Structure formats: C-alpha cells, structure tokens
Structure 1
Amino acid sequence: MADSFERYHKWEQHLAEVTLPKWDELPKFDLYMDQVVAYVNDTLGPLDVDSVTPAMINNYVKHNIILAPVKKKYQVMQVADILLIGLLKPTYAMDTIRQGMDQVTASLFPKRAYDTFIDLMLSGLRGDLPEAPADNLNDQMMVTAVHAILDKMKSEQLLSLTKEIVTPKPVEQK
C-alpha cells in the first residue's frame, strides 16, 4: 500500500513537470494533418490522455467543432482548438466543449483565452490552482473545467493503483 501511495506521489510530481505551449509557442507555420496529429499527441502525451487521430480531427471539422483547414493546412487557431479539445474531451461532451470555447472567446481574444486556460491548467498540474472564485464567469468556467480535468485524471490514477492492491470481486447475480 505504501508503495502505491509513493507511486501516486511520483505521478503527481510528473504532472507538475509537464509543460504545455502558450499561444506564441505554437507552430508559427501551417501544418498538414499528419503534422497536427504528431504535434498534438507529442504535446499531450505526458498527460496520458487519449491520442488524437486524423479521423477525429476530420469529425471535428465535419461537425463544425473546429474550422476547416485551408488548402489542407491547419493554422495556429485550429491547433490550439485541437489541443484544448484533447484536454477537455475525456471530461466533457463535444457540444459542451464548443459552447464553452465560443462563450469564452466571445469576451476574450482567442490568444488570451487559450493562454489563460493553459496557465490555469499548468497551475493545476503543479497543484496550485486557486479554489477561490475567479473574477468573472468565464474565468470561473475555465477554473471549473481545469478542476474537472484534473479530478478525472487523479481519480483514474488512484483507481488504477488501488486495483493493484485489491482486486474487487464481481457482483454475483442471484
């Protein structure tokens, strides 16, 4: 049990070392689909979230979750959206994600909204995300989303580690 607890703390320390790119650190040139997939998966890989596939990205375009590529090339805005979707989709439905992104960017420029979310996510990964309410509803929505993402990641990690200690017995049908 102590070993599992130690492994959980090491996992938390690993999260604290994860870096995520701010807007100005995103690729400055347009990317083809395979480059977008590689970039997003490399960026989000240390968080152990599900990989993004070309089929998923095509579905995001088809369902107007992200803008269509221009001449098969994705621009910084689309790459930022795909990164955010990759973080949010294990916790939220796609329509909720798009509505949230639209709501936040209605009052903040996309660059500022993205950077604010990434700052909050990085604070959360380091374990210093504020519990106090934010200054406005959009910031509060982002803080709440980051808490939900992190809580889901932590619960899954804890469940995985506790399964190693004790395997639950299946429920018997009578």
Structure 2
Amino acid sequence: MQENLTEWGKNIETVTLPRWDELPDIELYMDQVIGLVGRYLSPILTTQKQALLTKSMVNNYVKLELIPAPVKKKYTRVHLAFLIAITLLKQVLTIPEIKTGIIYQGRASGIQKAYNIFCETQENTISIVGKQAQGLETKGLFTQKIELEYLIVTAACTSLATKLLAEKSIELTENLSIAKEEDTHEL
C-alpha cells in the first residue's frame, strides 16, 4: 500500500494548473471546453466515477449565474477559468458556497488575478499532501498568516487537497483488503 501511496504522492506533488495567460485566447464550442477542462483536471481528479464536466452542468452553471452566458454558443478563457475552479471546488463545497466565494474573490482581486491565485494555492496544497503521501516531512498547510481576502480560497483548496489524500488512502486500503481476502480464500 505504501508503495502505491508514495507513487501517487510523487505524481500529484508536481501537478500544475494552467494560468490565465495559458488558457486559450480563442472562442471555443462546448465540447472543446469540456475536453479541455477534463484534460487540465484529470491529473488531479483521477478517481472520479462520473464525468468531471458535462453539457448539463455547464448549462446549469449558466442558469445559476455561476458563469457568464456564452455568446453565440462560444466560450472564452473566462468560462474556462470559472469551469476549472468550479469543477475542483464542487468536490468540497456546495454550489451556493462556490458562488459566494467566486463573487467575493473576483471582487477582491479581479477575475484574472483571483483565478491565478486559486491555481497557485491549489497547487501548493496538493504539493503538500503529495509530499505527505510519500512520507516526506512538510511544514504544514498553515505556516504563515493568511490574509482575510485569501482565507476562503486557501481553506477550500486545502479541503480539496486533503480530501484527495483521504480518498486515495481509502482506495488503497480497500484494494489491500480485497487482495488479503483473495489470498485467504486461496489457502
């Protein structure tokens, strides 16, 4: 089990999210957006049993005013940034909580800066749990004061990172239990 957890930790420790300037600066169709979000997030959300993002989800996010409506059925980097953040955050927060957090962070920092801060914070927290999974010493998640305007994003990203570690540990424990049961039955 420890070998698998260490390997997972090595893989997830170096995960990166695309920054604002790395997102496509062209208009995209729904299928392209869904494909890109899936590609960007698949290294992080590896154990999903359902689609990370669907057309219905995107349409619901528009109806709930979580993301702006597309123009002539085309989506921009603004949509991509929102959908990346929402897809990750919905792993640990409710849609109303995400909406409140996105509105707050967007007003506090502006959409572009808020998105880049989210990406950096998420990468940092995932890197820490990746190191913990490898059995490496870490300085912890909250070693310095967090400014109030970044408290929401930091807490949400930390929740997701630790949830990923818990899920992977549970998955490996279940696999180990199944393997032991199979060995017992063979005897």
For normalisation by structure 1, the TM-score amounts to 0.88
4+ residue segments displaced more than 6 Å: none
Supply the distance in 1 between the matched residues of 2:108 and 2:141 (Cα, whole angstroms): 22
- 1:160 pairs, out of 154, 163, 171, with 171
Alignment CA distance shift 1:38-1:129 (3 Å): farther
Deviation at 1:129, TM superposition (A): 6.8
Tell me the equivalent position of 1:59.
60
Number of positions where the alignment pairs a residue of Structure 1 with one of Structure 2: 165
Is residue 134–residue 143 contact of structure 1 (8 Å, CA) maintained in 2?
Answer: no
Alignment CA distance shift 1:95-1:133 (3 Å): farther
**Matched residue SS, 2:166:** helix
State yes or no: 1:145 paired with 2:146.
no
Deviation at 1:84, TM superposition (A): 0.2
Structure number with the bigger relative contact order (C-alpha 8 A, sep ≥ 6) is 2
Tell me the equivalent position of 1:6.
3
Supply the distance in 2 between the matched residues of 1:38 and 1:154 (Cα, whole angstroms): 25
Alignment CA distance shift 1:134-1:143 (3 Å): farther
The aligned amino acid for 1:105 is G
Equivalence map 1:1-174=2 (5 Å): 4-48=1-45, 50-127=51-128, 130-166=141-177
Structure 1 stretches lacking a partner, 5+ long: 169-174
CA RMSD for the aligned pairs? 1.7
> Percent sequence identity over matched residues?
31
For normalisation by structure 2, the TM-score amounts to 0.82
Structure 2 stretches lacking a partner, 5+ long: 129-138, 182-187
Supply the distance in 1 between the matched residues of 2:146 and 2:44 (Cα, whole angstroms): 28
**Matched residue SS, 1:20:** coil
**Matched residue SS, 1:38:** helix
Supply the distance in 2 between the matched residues of 1:149 and 1:70 (Cα, whole angstroms): 32
